[in-house]
Amino acid sequence: MDKILKIVGNGSIHVKADMMILFFTLHGQEKTYDKTIKKASYDHEKLCQELTSIGIDNKFIITTSFIINQNFINVRNKDNIVSSKQDGFRYSEQVKVCFDFDNVMLSNILTLLSQNDIYSDMSLSYGLKDENKQKQAVMLDALNNAVENANAIAKGAKIQLGEIISIEYGTPKFSPILRDSGIRLANYKMIENDEINLNVSAKDIVLNDTITLIYSIK
């Protein structure tokens, strides 16, 4: 039976976030379904125009969900009995906007959004623009660690390593590179000429990966 050495390498890198992802919700209400659709379309187009006017690429303004529901209100009759009554339709569109890690741009976007009460539920996350580049970097770090471990074991055990006869590599042990900043932004109607100035410092994103090498032993 051929002698082999099976060794596991672990990679870990710390990466500076270079992208911001702002999430928020557009919402509105009209009496009829058709008017609600038209309002939703108008509000979305207006949002895109305003964001592109301050430098956001239109392809990074992304709708993640869109819902239209009947809206109901509680009404009380003359006998003081409460019942539900339809009161038009309400739309809700969840949007994410991606842009370079830039506090000035973030402040400009928040200033814009806060001047209109159709936006709510704002939150901020951050991530990496080039995910594949970072996946390759952590994979190579794991590979180098496996080679170092193999050489250290061979030296300690006084054996001579042959060729690598197998490499086992699966899916990297990290999910899509998106890290919640923990920042929640209350929506409010700003006074005239007011501006938001927000300075965000993101923690490093830590990526981990594992690779297994199988060596022959001479």
Q: Kindly report, residue by residue over 1-15, the tens digit of the pLDDT.
A: 688 999 999 999 998
CB-based contact 52:108 (threshold 8 Å): no
Does the reported pTM lie above 0.85?
no
User: From CA 102, how far away is CA 84, in angstroms rounded?
Assistant: 47
Check residue 177 and give its pLDDT. 47
User: From CA 70, how far away is CA 87, in angstroms rounded?
Assistant: 7
The number of folded domains in the chain is 2
Within 10 angstroms of residue 28's Cβ, the number of other Cβ atoms is 16
Residues spanned by the domain of 141: 1-16+130-186+203-218
Check residue 2 and give its pLDDT. 81
Fill in the DSSP letter of residue 118: T
Check residue 184 and give its pLDDT. 56
Which residues of the chain carry a pLDDT beneath 50?
A: 175-177, 187-192
Check residue 134 and give its pLDDT. 87
Check residue 95 and give its pLDDT. 95
107 in any annotated domain: yes
105 & 31 share domain: yes
7 in any annotated domain: yes
Distance, CA of 23 to chain centre? 9
192 in any annotated domain: no
140 in any annotated domain: yes
195 in any annotated domain: no
User: From CA 46, how far away is CA 62, in angstroms rounded?
Assistant: 14
Check residue 77 and give its pLDDT. 82
6 in any annotated domain: yes
Check residue 58 and give its pLDDT. 94
121 & 35 share domain: yes
119 & 48 share domain: yes
193 in any annotated domain: no
